[in-house]
Amino acid sequence: MTMQEISERYRIPMDVLKEYEKWGLHNTIEKALDKQEYDDQDIGQLSMIMTLHGIGFETEEVKEYMYLLQKGELTEKNRLSMLNKKRREVLDEIHFKETQINQLDYLRYKIRSAG
């Protein structure tokens, strides 16, 4: 598949695909007319990139994670550490939002009980 076909079929933004190419992680096959084709491994890696972006990884974190992933099992501890760190950050955000909701509910209660 070409970059355009991948973008359309999997709804991956072109800027993500261009960044992926810059990182040099892809297994593109050079075709006639200088078209680059993406194989199943590329699609799997792009899926991982989109997942990492979706869970809140910044571009540099995605890049680091993908390089570690390329190195294989020896980097599992590092990748797990990155995922644990992101999980803690997300939990902190959830707790902060819960506190905001509690404060909003309290203010709503005060207004309702005053009348």
The alpha helices in the chain, defined as continuous H runs, are 3-10, 14-23, 40-54, 59-71, 76-114
- The CATH number of residue 52's host domain is 1.10.1660.10
Q: What is the pLDDT at residue 16?
A: 81
- 42-92 pLDDT, tens digit per residue, is 888 888 999 999 999 999 999 999 999 999 999 999 999 999 999 999 999
Is the pLDDT confidence value at 34 over 90?
no
- Domains in the chain: how many in total? 1
User: Quick one: pLDDT at residue 78?
Assistant: 97
Domain span at 60:
3-114
The two three-digit tokens of residue 102, written as one number: 């509690």
- Report the chain's mean pLDDT, rounded to a whole number: 87
- What residue has token string 């797990």? 80
Provide the 8-state DSSP code for 33.
Answer: G
Report CA-CA distances (Å) from 28 to 39, 69, 82, 103.
7, 18, 28, 53
